[in-house]
């Protein structure tokens, strides 16, 4: 036992390394994990004390545990068996496929990242790019049952929607979004997943994938996770509200347990004086295709240009961005009052409520006035047209505080300046007209509020 043993230096290093790893995995790592877990639990407890809707335990569960719970769900296991029979593959192969889908979908929420970094970044970015305004905020929102699962249903105008609503809802709860393939890019994907978002394949038609996704949405809904969904399914290419798609709404309604908590839908409507993706969206609408890949080089050029303008002291914000929160709709009450309506009727009702809350902003007002006039107006007629629309709007329209003109004139001037600076509208003497090649752009902005007014036609 006391004999000297000789071994090569490389073997000694390897032995010490294995011993260190074994010690760390059995003693050090569990202690470190316990230490950070305790710190996180205390931080979440402090957060929950100030949040209107505390973060549910489901959202804080370990990602590995959630994946295991999802793939061993009875409905998923039945789908695995059906997939194996349909595809003619072994069940263990189909099971691994389901596991891969679950790993792709399930997020790994970090309260510190969400409330420590994401909310601050969203606030700074929003206020840097826009004059942000909170439109209508229905008084009934304060009376929502604290045990209910809240789902924000929103129109989808821009990818800035995520940023604005995340910030404006920060004192209520942490939102869980469904995000598409555009966000599955490292390292963006890791940050988005840590913020509680879950990835979905919008074009997947596989029965097994849909079943895994449906069960995750059902489990999250039963777990009380506050969610945010876009019933339109994607960005509006025309500026108008799009017909709703049933996918996630159907999962929210039909995948709940029979004795589950109520679901309360909150209509949220957004609008902008400038949508940064507007030219991509308009071009896609003209081509009749939903594909509009935004190259990272385009985004980088835009960011660098904005930084350059700021360094030269010529930077200005891109008009107003506004968000309105409408009256909540209880799923239990909806099913009681309209038992045969189904998901389709629910989707139509929610879209109607979203449409009624769409904020009216200066650029859409000026754009609609020009479209209704056939493309040309003098300044006095433009002011009159904007004043006529403002008289039909039951709520306040943002106007620049620094402008001393009366309401309609100030709003018209602000919207006109925004369109003129971008070369979409031109002014000669007292005449305002749409630049011919930009007519589609003007229609795009006018369409965002067209449903709130009487119809008009171009001359």
Cα distance between residue 370 and residue 381, in whole Å: 10
Is the torsion defined by CA of 308, 311, 315, 320 positive or negative? positive
382 burial type by CB count under 10 A (0-12 exposed, 13-18 middle, 19+ buried): buried
Residue 137 lies in a domain: yes
Q: Is 375 left (phi over 0), alpha (psi -120 to 50) or beta?
A: left
Q: In the numeric block, which tokens belong to residue 231?
A: 């019933």
Average pLDDT taken over every residue of the chain:
83
Task: Identify the weakest region by mean pLDDT among 104-118, 325-339, 440-454.
Answer: 104-118
Last residue of a domain, one of 302, 330, 357: 357
Residue 7 lies in a domain: no
Q: How many domains does the chain have?
A: 2
pLDDT recorded at residue 434: 94
Residues 350 and 373 in one domain: no
Q: What is the pLDDT of residues 363-386, one digit of tens each?
A: 999 999 999 999 999 999 999 999
Q: Find tokens 């980088």 and name the residue.
A: 300
Residues 349 and 372 in one domain: no
CATH code: domain of residue 268: 3.40.1130.10
Last residue of a domain, one of 357, 384, 414: 357
**E-only strand ranges, 79-195:** 131-137, 149-154, 176-179
Q: Is 434 helix (H, G, I), strand (E, B) or coil?
A: strand
> Contact at 8 Å (CB) between 168 and 268?
no
Q: What is the pLDDT of residues 151-188, one digit of tens each?
A: 999 999 988 888 888 888 877 777 888 777 555 555 55
Hey, how many other C-beta atoms are within 10 angstroms of the C-beta on 457?
Answer: 7
pLDDT recorded at residue 34: 46
Residues 349 and 417 in one domain: no
More confident residue, 204 or 456: 456
Hey, how many other C-beta atoms are within 10 angstroms of the C-beta on 211?
Answer: 22
Q: Are strands 227-229 and 149-154 parallel, antiparallel or unpaired?
A: parallel
Residues 229 and 336 in one domain: yes
Q: What radius of gyration do the chain's Cα atoms show?
A: 26
Global pTM value: 0.84
Last residue of a domain, one of 333, 357, 381: 357
The range of the structural domain enclosing residue 182 comes to 105-276+318-357
> Contact at 8 Å (CB) between 381 and 237?
no
Q: Say if residue 80's pLDDT is above 70.
A: yes
């Amino acid at each position: 036992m006391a004999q000297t043993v000789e071994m090569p230096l490389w073997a000694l290093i390897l032995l010490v390394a294995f011993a260190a790893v074994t010690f760390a995995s059995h003693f050090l790592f569990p202690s470190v994990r316990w230490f950070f877990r305790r710190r996180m639990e205390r931080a979440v407890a402090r957060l929950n004390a100030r949040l209107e809707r505390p973060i549910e335990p489901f959202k804080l569960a370990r990602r590995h545990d959630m994946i295991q719970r999802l793939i061993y769900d009875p409905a998923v296991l039945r789908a695995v068996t059906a997939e194996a029979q349909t595809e003619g593959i072994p069940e263990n192969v189909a099971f691994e496929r389901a596991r891969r889908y679950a790993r792709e979908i399930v997020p790994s929420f970090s309260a510190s990242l969400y409330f420590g970094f994401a909310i601050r970044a969203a606030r700074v970015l929003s206020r840097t790019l826009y004059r942000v305004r909170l439109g209508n905020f229905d008084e009934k929102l304060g009376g929502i049952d604290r045990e209910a699962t809240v789902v924000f249903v929103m129109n989808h105008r821009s990818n800035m929607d995520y940023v604005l609503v995340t910030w404006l809802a920060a004192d209520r709860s942490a939102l869980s979004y469904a995000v598409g393939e555009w966000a599955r890019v490292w390292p963006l994907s890791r940050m988005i997943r840590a913020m509680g978002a879950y990835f979905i394949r919008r074009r997947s038609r596989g029965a097994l994938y849909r079943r895994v996704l449906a069960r995750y949405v059902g489990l999250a809904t039963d777990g009380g996770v506050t969610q945010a969904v876009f019933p339109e399914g994607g960005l509006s290419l025309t500026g108008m509200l799009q017909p709703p798609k049933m996918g996630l709404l159907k999962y929210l309604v039909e995948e709940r347990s029979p004795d589950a908590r109520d679901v309360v839908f909150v209509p949220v409507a957004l609008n902008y004086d400038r949508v940064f993706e507007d030219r991509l969206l308009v071009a896609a609408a003209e081509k009749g295709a939903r594909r509009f890949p935004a190259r990272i080089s385009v985004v980088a050029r835009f960011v660098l240009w904005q930084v350059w303008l700021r360094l030269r002291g010529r930077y200005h914000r891109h008009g107003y961005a506004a968000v309105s929160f409408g009256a909540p709709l209880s799923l239990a009450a909806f099913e009681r009052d309209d038992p045969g309506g189904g998901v389709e009727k629910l989707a139509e009702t929610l879209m109607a409520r979203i449409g009624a809350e769409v904020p009216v902003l200066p650029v859409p007002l000026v754009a609609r006035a020009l479209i209704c006039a056939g493309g040309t107006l003098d300044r006095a007629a433009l002011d009159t047209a904007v004043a006529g629309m403002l008289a039909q709007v039951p709520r306040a329209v943002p106007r620049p505080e620094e402008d001393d003109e009366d309401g309609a004139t100030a709003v018209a001037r602000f919207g006109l300046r925004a369109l003129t600076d971008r070369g979409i509208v031109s002014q000669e003497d007292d005449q305002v007209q749409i630049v011919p090649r930009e007519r589609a752009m003007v229609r795009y902005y006018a369409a965002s509020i067209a449903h709130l007014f009487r119809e008009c036609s171009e001359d």
